[in-house]
Amino acid sequence: MLARRFAAFALLGLLSPGAAPARAADHPVPESPLWLTYPGGEGPGKGKHVVLIAADQEYRSEAALPMLAKVLATHHGFHCTVLFSVNDKDEVDPTKKIRWEDKTVTHNVPGLEHLAKADLVILFSRLISLPDAQLKHVYEYLDAGKPIIGIRTANHGFLGFEYKKDGKKIDFGEDVLGGSFRSHHGRWQADSTRGIIVEKNKDHPVLKGVSDIWGLTDVYRTFKEGGGLPAGCTALVDGQPLKGRKPDDAPNPDLIALPVAWVKTWTGNAGKTARVFHTTMGSAEDFRNAGLRRLTVNASYWCLGLEEKIDPRSKVDIVGEYNPPGSGFDYAKLKVVPRKPSYYK
């Protein structure tokens, strides 16, 4: 009898909602073969849910964002969900064309309804055309007063984006993120970028512990020559084009440094104001750089109003293996093929 009582108590312990085996059940999004979920561990982000959207064709967001989700979940306690652009076989498909190349194309990002459960969205898309039912979830998020992080091509992340504010059509890059892609300021796939902390804003919380920022991507120009970031943007990092693809290459003397990371706010139709961080760096290869990872992790805290919990010594180490393909559109050479979401887990 006594043995049976101990067995019963043990079973109740296993079924208890607070028991370790039930940890995954705490995650606000159900598991699915269409997306990835990462339950948060202990950390300052405990209880907060970050949705990351990987939907570009050039810079390997499908590799970068699962890596970033693991960093945020494992080292900082955030629940994370990674959504992907998938093809008709439910495969993550960076090779899918855009409407500029094929007017019949419509992209598909399953799980966008989970934006309603998100405390923060990290967007890395490029020129995708979503059906109205999926765009509705994006528009509702823009009105919700919840924060947004945009990475690299997010500033030209959509085609057919019809969100309006006060009857005026909104440009997602310019109006929400603070600047749309205008041109490659650096030489595309020839220069790399050295990040330089903006001296007058060096004490901003997003820059705590951030140093040695470098990436293989070139600098984007997001405003006209002689201009600057729109009013309300606070530049945090300038990007100096280098004359090559190594961190110790010399600066390109013909190209000035331009902003590559900044913060601002966005207010949607409901009158609720959200914090926004945008970096025009951020290819999967760029994220090998610890400085860029820390910048993005710090931005996640700041966007959520958790800046007092930013620890300049916190871990931003990559969790597990991380060997992303290079950037570009030569998919055969880069060995980029459609794969199931589980491949990126």
Instruction: Give the integer Cα–Cα distance in Å for 147 and 300.
Output: 9
pLDDT < 70 stretches in the chain: 1-25
Residue 41 has a pLDDT of 86
pLDDT digits (tens, 9 = 90+) for 309-334: 999 999 999 999 999 999 999 999 99
CATH topology of domain 32-181+257-344: Rossmann fold (3.40.50)
* Token pair in block for residue 182: 């205008």
Specify the pLDDT at position 6: 33
Task: Supply the DSSP string of 188-231, one letter for each residue.
Answer: TTT--EEEEE-GGGTTSGGGTT----EESSPPEE-S-TT--SPT
List the chain domain ranges: 32-181+257-344
Provide the token pair at 44. Answer: 């300052």
The pLDDT value recorded for residue 189 is 78
Tens digit of each residue's pLDDT (9 = 90 or more) over 216-267: 999 999 999 999 999 999 999 999 999 999 999 999 999 999 999 999 999 9
Q: How far is residue 104's CA from residue 67's CA, in Å, rounded to a whole number?
A: 32
This prediction has a pTM of: 0.92
The pLDDT value recorded for residue 14 is 35
According to the model, what pLDDT value does residue 8 have? 40
Pairing of strands 120-125, 148-151: parallel
**28 — phi, psi (to 5°)?**
-75, -10
